Amino acid sequence: MTEITVAEISWADFEKVLMVAGTVTRVEPFPEARKAAWKVWADFGPYGERKTSAQIVALYPAEDLVGRQIVGVLNFPEKQVGPFRSQFLLTGFHTDAGVVITALERPVPNGSRLA
């Protein structure tokens, strides 16, 4: 197996990325998306409710997402995805079966920052 080399970043670089916990409040179909996706809304506590388009349909039915805590990146610029405006990045890991969302081991307050 070939080892992948990566560029190092400083702690200050890492601190610029605002990754926080939020709770999924609503999930809707996104039929206009080019790839299968959900429209996902999450409550990020003091950062408010934000929405995103997430290509997680393969592994997550909508009813399994509502109430679940996720990790979102909040300080990327908003992105237009077809007719929908995405306001955060839902983090996850690409696998052959689909994207596995980043999960919390136990509940934390919405808006808690990744340390």
- All structural domains of the chain: 16-101 (2.40.50.140)
Phi, psi of 36 (to 5 degrees): -50, 125
Reported as a pLDDT band with limits 50, 70 and 90, residue 28 is: very high
- Lay out the sheet containing 49-54: strands in order across: 49-54, 38-43, 19-29, 69-73, 89-90
- What pLDDT is attached to residue 50? 98
Give the tens place of pLDDT for each residue, 30-84: 999 999 999 999 999 999 999 999 999 999 999 999 999 999 999 999 999 989 9
Average pLDDT, the chain: 96
CA atoms within 13 A on the CB side of 75: 9
Average pLDDT estimate for 95-105? 95
Q: Is the pLDDT of residue 95 over 90?
A: yes
Q: Is the pLDDT of residue 1 over 90?
A: no
